[in-house]
Amino acid sequence: MKIPKLTGTLSNKIKTQIKINDITIGRDFLVIAGPCSVESEEQILSAAKAVKAAGANMLRGGAYKPRSSPYSFQGLGRYGLEYLKKAGQAVDLPIITEVIDTRDVYLVSEYADVLQIGARNMQNFSLLVEVGKTKKPVLLKRGLYATIEEWLNCAEYILKEGNPNVILCERGIRTIETYTRNTLDLSAVAAVKRMTHLPVIVDPSHATGRVELIGDMSLSSIMAGCDGLEIEVHPCPGKALSDAEQQLDPEQFKKLMRRINLTRELRNLLEDNEICPE
């Protein structure tokens, strides 16, 4: 396998760290939480308060939604950006939201602290070049059919344009197993951590598509060595306009955060070779 040069560790011996307000991604463990879609000013504010209280350090919410069917809810667009921005400010959390069109990159950059490239746009090369021209941190999701090599080459498109602030996100690949929405590929996380200097996080919500599996997969991801998690949390999942079956409610997320913190402590111990050499 050929690792592209800027993305590979040869170009950068030390791990990339990305500072956003008080967090330094790649050093501090990143927990992005929030609803799949921004549905209203009240909904996103309520979600923001809940995830902040539980200990998340970044707020997510979709304003432009790539949906399989043109008849599904497509997001609130610019209004969604406004509501998300306000909610982030209200609870003092940086925000991340998806951009799906080269023409929107400037606009979304005005609002978001991190630009998200979704799995279906991983190989939308024009979009990669466009976000590469900004200096905004970019979260690049792995395509649900993409090999590790293709994924890293997409990161290379962004780095090549001069934007070094790329975060990789494993969100499950499509396989013969249909019980889970996708198959979370944690060996890819452990492998990519060895190939690149970029932070690598995991999205267990899209990977599993099932509320009851998100907790275990979050903890598994930490032990695979990930630098963070992106978890869907909705004030009232049953009423969600998208991904209803895979969003945690605030109470579930609060309990999961305690487990995440304990697991992080162990992983930190293990990475300290004095305690337990690898």
Q: For residues 21-50, which are near its own copies according to CB under 8 A?
A: none
**Inter-CA distances, 250 with 18, 97, 153, 175, 229, Å:** 28, 20, 37, 31, 16
**What is the token pair recorded at 16?**
């990339």
SS3 98: strand
Among positions 26, 88, 137, 143, the unique one binding its own copies when judged by CB under 8 A: 143
Query: In the range 207-266, which residues lie near its own copies by CB under 8 A?
Result: 207-208, 210, 212-213, 215-217, 219-225, 255, 258-259, 262-263, 266
User: Which residues, including other chains, have CB under 8 Å from residue 44's CB and lie 6 or more apart?
Assistant: 34, 35, 38, 61, 83, 84, 87
Residue 185 is a binding residue for its own copies (CB under 8 A)? yes
Nearer to its own copies, 57 or 221 (CB): 221
Nearer to its own copies, 14 or 176 (CB): 176
Residue 199 is a binding residue for its own copies (CB under 8 A)? no
Residue 10 is a binding residue for its own copies (CB under 8 A)? no
Nearer to its own copies, 46 or 220 (CB): 220
Query: Which amino acid belongs to residue 220?
Result: S
Total chain residues near its own copies (CB under 8 A): 73
Nearer to its own copies, 27 or 255 (CB): 255
User: Which residues, including other chains, have CB under 8 Å from residue 69's CB and lie 6 or more apart?
Assistant: none
Query: In the range 56-85, which residues lie near its own copies by CB under 8 A?
Result: 66-71
Of the candidates 174, 165, 173, 175, the one whose C-alpha atom is nearest the C-alpha of residue 197 is 165
Shortest distance, CB of residue 21 to its own copies, whole angstroms?
Answer: 29
Query: In the range 146-175, which residues lie near its own copies by CB under 8 A?
Result: 146-150, 153, 156-157, 160, 173-175
Query: In the range 100-119, which residues lie near its own copies by CB under 8 A?
Result: 100-103
Among positions 16, 57, 97, 124, the unique one binding its own copies when judged by CB under 8 A: 124
Calpha distance 245→41 (Å, rounded) = 22
**Inter-CA distances, 3 with 7, 128, 149, 185, Å:** 7, 18, 7, 19
Nearer to its own copies, 48 or 189 (CB): 189
Calpha distance 225→126 (Å, rounded) = 31
